[in-house]
Amino acid sequence: MGETALWLQRAVSPTKKAMTQKQKTLVGGVSILGIAGIICKVVGVLYRIPLAHLIGPDGMGVYHKVYPAYNLLLTISSAGLPVAISRMVAHYVTREDPRNARRIFSMAMRMLLALGLLTMLLMLLFSGRLAAWQGTQETKAGYMAIAPSLFFVCVMSAFRGFLQGQRNMVPTAVSQLIEQIGRVFIALPFAYWGMRRGGVALGAAGALAGGTIAEGAALLYMLLQHRKADQALDFVPQREDGETLAGRVIARRLVYISIPITLGACIVPLAGFIDSIMLTQLMEGAGMAAEDALVRYGSYAGPVLTLINVPTALAMAMSTNLVPDIAAGLARGEKEYVAKEAGVGLRMAAVIGFPCSIGMSLLAQPILYLCYRGCYTGPQLDVAAELLTISSLTIVLFTMVQATSGILQGAGKQRIPMYTLVLGVALKIALNYTLVRIPGVDIHGAPWASLLCYTASMIPNLYYVSKYTGYRFNVLDVVVKPFFCAAVMGGAVYGIWTLGFGYPGHLNGFRLTAGILLCVAVGALIYGFLALKTKAIDKNDLPAKIRRFIK
């Protein structure tokens, strides 16, 4: 293992010391993948609105019960290997060794083909058992409909890793858009057909089958892009003194890189899967009717979690950019640079997280009425709004956890965020079990448990970031300034909505939309102005184009 660790240390060394200003700034580093991620999240939210109209609250409950187990298996099979492929391919392409880059892709493809086939078969064979564990037999057809998607995504992740290793992020972004847009044009007709033929169970299964077909279309696109990328390697000169890597060496290195990443990435999907089993059963155990428990779970796992996942796309993109940034600084031995970039990462996490948390919490009810009125009843939307009001507060915690995880992974301490998330999820499960069983609390206990989960993960992460990067935590810059700006923004938003609009159930679609857009626009202007004035956002961290625009 010592040889592999030495190779990894060399692999993260920068090939070029000169970086453009865009590469130097984390804001500029929110690349095409981050933009595509936000678009995909928004399309995902919009897609679920007509889907909820088609299959109803019960159908949405079934639909969202399938995804936790699917996400867990998908993470196990394809979370770590694409990152490993990307790192290794980039290393050998940079060293003018396209032969080994191709061998890495070939070995990784065989591994992912096997993992994809295995996970697909497991979901097909155990679909009935999974449905029984969750206490919702209607999910069996959904599991069978989505199972082939596991195979498609695993194979596609090999292509994505290979292309990202050549610094080509556009095909990955386009394939993500194909997946989401395909769901709109394929899954919705399938959901309609399923509802006509077999009710809620087939309606949800039809939507999931449409998603599987969309994944297949994205895979075909990536196959075409891989051929172009492979041909491009013909123009990379081959070093004559390059040693051809043996297959077992490649496999060992891929596993060494991917296992900690995979284990860490599995923790949150595992918590979601446990939620899908625990929450409805705990509510039923407390005396709630099974149908009501399913609808409440569907409201939480559907509209609520879908909406709070939109701004987290920025956190994911920022974390992705922090990893190589910190690793390159450490490889150059620039301790001051590493500490500075760690501070910038944490400040940007707070600058993104605080306004998103406060803004979405205050506008929870109007946003839900705008998106889901007609899909859910007024009382159901009011319950979902109460859940979203609390769940929105996890956004700032999640962005901080992602930032600290990216910093620690870049510093070669990827096991630490894995352990802290294990601690957080364990506490979440314990609090779920305690709160959700209480009549009158029921599903409302779930967002409080999530708050505890991310808080418990964030605090030790911050300690280890300071320990391993030399960054001294600055409460004023990371907490006080962005929170003050967001609080003032929140006061203005609350005043505008309360005085000008009131209860959203009494508003027509035009006034509801206009009110939300007005609040968002005013809130963004106030927050941006205050953030620049208080220096919560440092102009030097911004890309040159934005600095010129501000001037």
> Tens digit of pLDDT for each residue in 92-151?
776 677 778 888 888 889 999 998 999 999 999 988 888 888 777 888 888 999 999 999
Tens of pLDDT along 369-396?
988 887 778 888 888 899 999 999 999 9
**135 alpha-carbon distance from chain centroid:** 27
pLDDT of residue 293: 83
pLDDT of residue 488: 96
| 364-367 long-range contacts, CB within 8 A, separation 24+ | 364/388, 364/389, 364/392, 365/389, 365/503, 365/504, 366/497, 366/501, 366/504, 366/512, 366/515, 366/516, 366/519, 367/307, 367/516
- Greatest mean pLDDT among 73-82, 258-267, 395-404, 533-542: 395-404
Q: Which amino acid is at 536?
A: A
Q: Where does the pLDDT of residue 165 fall: very low under 50, low under 70, confident under 90, or very high at 90 and above?
A: confident
d(CA 56, CA 191): 11
Percent of the chain exceeding pLDDT 70 equals: 84
What DSSP string runs through 438-475? STTTGGGHHHHHHHHHHHHHHHHHHHHHHHHH-PPP-H
pLDDT of residue 117: 93
**13 alpha-carbon distance from chain centroid:** 27
For 308-440, strand residue ranges (E) read none
Written as six digits, the tokens of 34 are 């981050």
pLDDT of residue 13: 40
pLDDT of residue 1: 42
Q: Where does the pLDDT of residue 9 fall: very low under 50, low under 70, confident under 90, or very high at 90 and above?
A: very low
Q: 515 or 183: which carries more pLDDT confidence?
A: 515
d(CA 58, CA 63): 9
CA distances (Å), origin 307, targets 27, 129, 272, 303, 304: 23, 30, 16, 6, 5
Written as six digits, the tokens of 75 are 């993470």
Report phi then psi at 373, rounded to 5: -65, 130
For the cut 60, the answer to whether the pLDDT of residue 10 exceeds it is: no
pTM beyond 0.75, yes or no = no
Contact 390, 447 (CB under 8 A): yes
3-class DSSP state of 534:
coil
d(CA 187, CA 207): 4
Determine how many CB atoms are found less than 10 A away from the CB of residue 502: 12
Q: Report domain extents, the chain.
A: 1-11+20-231+246-268, 311-551
pLDDT of residue 25: 45
Q: 171 or 547: which carries more pLDDT confidence?
A: 171
Strand partners, 376: 373
pLDDT of residue 24: 42
